[in-house]
Structure 1
Amino acid sequence: MLALVLLRGSPVVEPSTVGSCAEVQRIELSLSSEATREVCISPGLMTGFLFDAPVVVELQDEVRFEEVVRGRQLLTLLPPQDMVSGERLRFVVHFGGGVAQGSIAFTLVAHSGRATHQVEVFRDKRTRESFQQEVEQERAKNRQLREDNRRLRARFERIRELGSLVANEAVGIHGIQAKELDPKAFSELGGILYFDRGLSYRGESTIAAEIWLRNSGSEPWTTVGGTLIDSDGEELTGLKIRQEEAIVSDRASVVIVEANAKRTQARGYLKLKLWDEGLRVVTFPRMMFP
């Protein structure tokens, strides 16, 4: 039976080096270097480890974890709710039930709203079934990318209708200004949706924002309403919300909002609230437009 032992030492917080946070991560210990043995975890999201041999695990700060499920070749973790982005926890895996059979160390790196769901660890070469499973997953991912590309092309075709923008006086001598939204302004959002990336825009009589949001819950999110409040506490008129697909669990999708505002209006921080049909609310308190 797999044993769990608390490692001594304080957790380390530093800038994260895990970039992709793939849903499935496969590690061949005979081929990987020490630098590649990092795994994304996130509060509220489960991460499971599958080993190709019985193991004994020593986990740092195990008492902080929300849930730890153990088996002879399995380890499933639900990270601590108080983990902050960049925090790192260490655990050591002993194969064959003891140090003499070989050990390997991993680092769990905390991210906001992003986590690797499954980690497959192989002492030697991967099995044929593992490669076949990865091929099927890549095919499914490519199909999804092609569908996303089709939707983006359709949206860009609508954007190209410059004549309608001119006719509606949305474009003037200053053109359309754009500004990249600062992720730091959304770092403390938490809750159901997490900010992934975004842009804000300003025309002659309107402002708009294109926000990519990631869903940390299990239920899909479809925006049905919202408000945009300026720095004086006034609600902007003519708010329009566009969302072409529901935001499903652990996937980023775009929500576009637009409201009436002259160039001299809607300056400083604006507060955007969005809600779904279940009246779940997410608030963006520091929206800025060009």
Structure 2
Amino acid sequence: MHPVSAVLLLLTLRQVPSPPVSPPPPACEEHQTLELARAGTRDICIARGTLTGLLFDAPVTVELEDEARFAEVLRGRSGLGLVPPADLRPGERFRLTVRFEQESPSRPTTLVLVSQSARATRQVDVFRDQRSREALARQLEEERARNQRLQEENRALREQLAPTPPSPRPREETEPGPRGLITRALRGRPARPGEALRAVHGHSYRASGRVGVRLLLVNEGDTPWPLAGAELSGPRGEPLRDVTVVPTGPLKPGEERVVRVEAPLPEDVPLEALRLTLQAEDTRAFTLPEIPLP
């Protein structure tokens, strides 16, 4: 090939335009914050049938490209709500021109609404300058609450997936203790339908003319369980007198508490088992019908 022809061919190839490169899709978040004073993307995710709201930190006027196609456009002095067109195509983009009333009309800001088929950003907070301390503190508090909620959900999920260890076999024999105290281990009892309290484990005991029950309870309900009193009775339903329960007061949801119920041991009634009823300040009650004694 002639040297001149080679040079002309090289110049021609250099003038061939490169194919356009599509911009990468934006990262869609449920709640987005845009600070116009900082460099960075100004893309906002939208999706068919999903309302996206924009809240500005000052009064604005907005111009939306191809607004007639949108299913809904709601304007306010400092806000804009929009529902995208029903015929929205994946990757379709719309310019949103924003002019703040306190700034020169010749300084508009352009945001880009980008169609995403999977999800959309539901709330966008737009700040002209860097956010105020109050706004940063509010966002930090929201992030802390979100992280705490995720940690709680993660912990609950681990508990659901963790294998249940075999329950240790409680000792049925009596155990002597100081000053004549003898105890007997008790198995736990799961909460029945409609109940909130669950007995995790415990023991019954006799000591110095007294008889009692010590239980570890947990409130598995959604509301506090206000423990107010207790009843102890013998195998034939005869009530024991001067029953004491400590401590009283509400068990918060998820709270564990060790409760001790005690009464003087009747001299003329041989007791081999007890019936325990815990009473709430309202009409609720929790009953263990047969508690073996040592």
Give the TM-score band, short-chain normalised. 0.3 to 0.5
Q: Using CA pairs below 8 Å that are at least 6 residues apart, which structure has the higher relative contact order?
A: 1
Q: Which has the larger radius of gyration?
A: 2
Task: State the TM-score, normalized to the length of structure 1.
Answer: 0.45
Task: State the TM-score, normalized to the length of structure 2.
Answer: 0.44
